[in-house]
A and B are shown apart, each in its own frame.
Chain A
Amino acid sequence: MKRRTFLKTSAIAGTFPLLNPGFSWATNNLDGDDNILVCVFLGGGADGLNIIAPVGEGNYYDLRPTLALKEPGSGIDASLDLDGFFAMHPAMDKLHQRFQNGDLAVVQATGLTSDSHSHFDSQSFMQRGIATEQNIADGWLNRHLSLQANNDPVFRALGLANSLPLSLAGNYPAISMRSIEDYGLNAGEIVGPVIENTLAALYNQDSLLDIEASKALTSMSALHQADPAQYPTENGAEYPDTEFGQRFRQLGQMIRAKVGLTTACMEIHGWDHHDNEPEVLPDILAELSNTLDAFATDMGTDMSRITVVTMSEFGRRAYENSSAGFDHGYGSFMLTMGAGVLGGKVYGDWPGLAANQLVFSGDLDITTDYRTVLAELLGKRFGQDDFATVFPDWTQAGELGVFV
């Protein structure tokens, strides 16, 4: 039976193929040359206008009289020129370098076309790959994987986050990990297997708990065998000593351990800058920039098969508030780096910041649905063509040409 049929059948039956017994993960697909997608979610609504700033537009400075980025070349703290019109936040010097080298592309005025403005609705919509509420519970990446999975390795889909990212949730068996170190019982060589074997025998039904328990047991032992912690960081890469940075370091180890990983989801929270943006945005941007840069450095030649993409649930209001911050907005930005990326360019039509060009309570408009970017990426790098399934309420209408 083809895996896809298998999954569909089991979905209809309300069950998932149990791994123990009767279902076994493939272990033979680990030659390590598959393309890899790394999806990074910036939780909180990142302020695209002060990250990829339209310094070429006068309205930008009128709307943000105290908080706009300084023009490129204007001394210390000046923004970093991208294409003469847009400039990058100075805390992102590492990614700016990669942009100039042609490794990194930017999409501006993109995002989720929902009028919600709620973090929680918007994050949920975006991770489910939809724009309006509908009866769809699984994540867009899970649907993507379900469509093409066949004889898969245990760690094909991995969320390195506090809980499995919704993008990966669904029938396709994704693995959630907080850290490599904690992914084990730490019960010793004698008692550990006793506990594992007993639990394997006790979790023999078809509930959510049983499915996750079976996946946990199988993946725990696969991880033990692969021992990713043995791989050192390479090429002098230095990851920030933060949860996000260290999780990326471990993602690198997982890739290096050839566990068959092709899809990873990462999260970095803390972008909800209603107040004091100048105090907090530089730090988190530097963390993001230094982490992605370290990851690319660490992966070295493997970057020829790894593509990283970032997204956030919405951007922020075009004009500043009384707290030196910005309230919830609409259009934002995406970054993409690595394999297949036609970098060194800012993509997307610019909607403008004039009063009659702003939407809702004064937000940057969206000219590129975030799924336009993701669909091009999935199509060109991961062989996906069933977008009616992956993005059910989205209609394909051209592409930006960000990827080859």
Chain B
Amino acid sequence: MDLNHRLNQARLSDQAPAAGQSIEDQARQIISSIFTSGNSIPASTKTRALQDKFNQQLQATINGQVLTATDTGALPDDTHFLNRMSYGPTPPLREQLANEGWENLLERQLDPENIDTSDIDAALAQNFPTLTLTPEEIIKAGEVDLIIKVVTEFIVSTLMRQAYSPAQLYERMVEFWSDHFNMNILDAPLFAFKSSDDRDAIRPNVLGKFRDLLFANARSPAMLLYLDNYSNTKDGPNENYARELLELHTLGVDGGYSEDDVVAVARAFTGWTINPFNFEFLFHFPLHDRRNKEVLGTKIRKTYTGGITDGEQVLDLLASHPSTARFISTKLARRFVSDNPPAELIDALTQVFLDTDGEIKELLRTLFNSDAFWAAKEQKMKRPLDFLTSIIRRLGFDPGENTFRYMFTRLQQMGQIPFYWHAPNGYPDTAAYWTDTAAMISRWSSGNDVSRFVPDENMEAALDGADTPNTIIQAMAIVLIDRKLGTEERKAIRRNVFAGQKPNQPITGNPVEYARITATVLLGSRYFQQR
């Protein structure tokens, strides 16, 4: 039975929706609108235990956390390292870093299986039961409500992991590879498949060998659907996956492939499809194009195992290709170092990639050990997700009943809901895209909103008794941007935010409220836009 038919049958099962609209269309429509209206996101009150614990930890340690803050305005090395390695410094991470040095902390982070993530794991398991569902279970249920739960729980869990998981580098790499192998979760019926892809293809492989990640992705039903390979047959190859495999997943657009290579690769992957009964990967031999193929000048060997090896040989060829090594190295350097990373760094990473057969941990070691990395302080524009998670990690966040509903609205306005990017290249990773007038305004307005949801106790802890304009400004500057402000900047804030108050005398009014407005302008300042 053909897959489209099965998917259709699943859509139109017991809960036939009104007005001839398929469940799929309904779900897509609702999911598209969730994040504008905010109304359909389940209140995640049960995750409060985790957030409370995090906030209390912050309260106990927030003050005096930046031991290395200087008057010079230069970002401390420790903060630079944590800005890139994690979603933002927290007191425990800083302490660990101070105690054992960044090399040891990096090694710890490169070994996530030995990081205690029991708090976040328990919170997710308890509150987001759909994370363990398979596409088969989701599709066979055929319920709009369930699909919406699947998507929202998956996205919320991604945000929570970024904000609260101690395995921070691991989460950064999950984000990196999710961008690299981007799928738009609104591209039906991907909302039934993407959470499984994250669980089964992305997460187990983000710190392993690139080859394994590539193979897992090629067989992932979500990717087979997203780039149409499920319907790529000998009768008329569909080039979508083949082209993006070459252009976006491996060689890069200038990696040296031709239009003929695109066609040959498409033919090699004919028959890589999805089992229409359980929605798992299936190589279906009758659909496979058995004719000879040549890719990048290499003849694809015919084997006795029935044609699936055509695609596997292509993946092997691509996984170890020098263009792939350079392309992946460039993207990693762009994510972790700067928008235009120096050629020496890319060369070094490329060599490591080729020497280690694409060992991702080795690439990261090289990257963090490079001079280029340490010279690139504050050269990355935070993307909206970074912007939000770094506020939460520095100040704490408690918006009441609907913790993450709120974050969705902000991310919608700032233009980066996870897994919503419309094209297979993933959310852009350079400043040009994220720096325009709308971006600035949405950040300012988000900073203002989020700072209103920082618990009073955290604000008081951050202030640590500061009660004059000058001391409030400096306390907030140290907590938020790791430095004391210069005279002119301090004056600018004092004149506007503390108008009518004497610089060095206790203010009239509640210091916490002044601290919030001070936080808003600091979160809106250049220092907080960059990492």
Contacts and interface: CB of A to CB of B under 8 A. Distances in A.
B521 A202 contact: yes
B493 A176 contact: no
Interface string A192-211: 00110111011101011110
Interface in B427-483: 428, 431-442, 444-445, 448-449
B521 A208 contact: no
Interface stretch (B62-70, B144-152, B154-162, B227-235): B227-235
B525 interface: yes
A215 B437 CA distance: 6
B413 A178 contact: yes
Contacts of B437: 164, 175-177, 212, 215-216, 219
Given A198-B496, A202-B492, A216-B441, A321 B524 contact: no
Contact of A185 (B236, B262, B448, B529): B448
Q: Determine chain B's interface SS by DSSP, over half rule.
A: helix
A39 to B, nearest CB: 17
Interface stretch (B82-90, B237-245, B365-373, B393-401): B237-245
Interface string A321-362: 111110110000000000000000000000000000000110
Interface string A381-394: 00000000000000
A186 interface: yes
B436 A176 contact: yes
Given A202-B525, A275-B228, A185 B517 contact: no
Interface string A215-238: 110011000000000000000000
B517 A191 contact: yes
Interface residues of A, number: 60
B89 to A, nearest CB: 22
Contacts of B247: 118, 120
A186 B228 CA distance: 43
B492 A322 contact: no
Nearest to A164: B436
A274 B423 contact: no
B282 interface: no
A219 B233 CA distance: 53
Q: Determine chain A's interface SS by DSSP, over half rule.
A: loop
Contacts of A182: 413, 438, 441-442, 445
Instruction: Give the one of B433, B496, B499 with max A CB within 10 A.
Output: B496
Contact of B253 (A120, A178, A205, A321): A120
Contacts of B199: none
A98 interface: no
B524 A199 contact: yes
B425 interface: yes
A270 interface: yes
B502 interface: no
Contacts of B263: 361
A77 interface: no
Given A120-B253, A176-B438, A212-B435, A328 B239 contact: yes
A178 B240 contact: no
Interface of B: 227-228, 231-240, 243, 247, 253, 259, 262-263, 381, 413, 415, 422-423, 425, 428, 431-442, 444-445, 448-449, 489, 492-493, 495-497, 499, 517, 520-521, 524-526, 529-530
Task: Return the 6 tightest CB-CB contacts between A and B, nearest first.
Answer: A201-B492, A322-B236, A176-B436, A323-B231, A274-B240, A164-B436
